[in-house]
Amino acid sequence: MALSFYWYPKCGTCRKAKKWFDDHDIKYEEIHIVDHPPSREELEEMVKKSGLDIKKFFNTSGQKYRELGMKDRIKEASEEELLDLLASDGMLIKRPIATDSEKVTVGFKEEQFSETWG
């Protein structure tokens, strides 16, 4: 399956990840995470397949995260509520997210990309 690359073009980390894919001749489908955020179902699947805690999917340094007071809300909320919140606004989601429907990476660390996508 093709690699889906959820990104935000103004994000420096996303641009580094995109450059890594390009430098390694890895084909991917670009998806603007704000214009076309993953659905609740897609997010739920990504969380499961990533093996990460759902909290790792939140863009904790983002303005939206602060506006919504997520720092406190995230501690109390159920996974269902957190999935609904993530699906409601692409700016809440940590980026980039890359997935081939089997593997998922959140954020960009060159070592992790090499292991997962190299």
- Residue 56 CA to residue 107 CA, distance in Å, equals 9
The span from the CA of 2 to the CA of 58, in Å, is: 24
Read off the pTM.
0.93
**pLDDT confidence of residue 2:** 87
For residue range 38-72, list pLDDT tens digits in order: 999 999 999 999 999 999 999 999 999 999 999 99
Domain boundaries in the chain?
3-117
| pLDDT, position 48 | 97
* Residue range 3-117, CATH number: 3.40.30.10
Per-residue pLDDT of the chain (118 residues), as tens digits, is: 589 999 999 999 999 999 999 999 999 999 999 999 999 999 999 999 999 999 999 999 999 999 999 999 999 999 999 999 999 999 999 999 999 999 999 999 999 999 999 9
Preceding peptide of 9 cis, ω within 30°: no
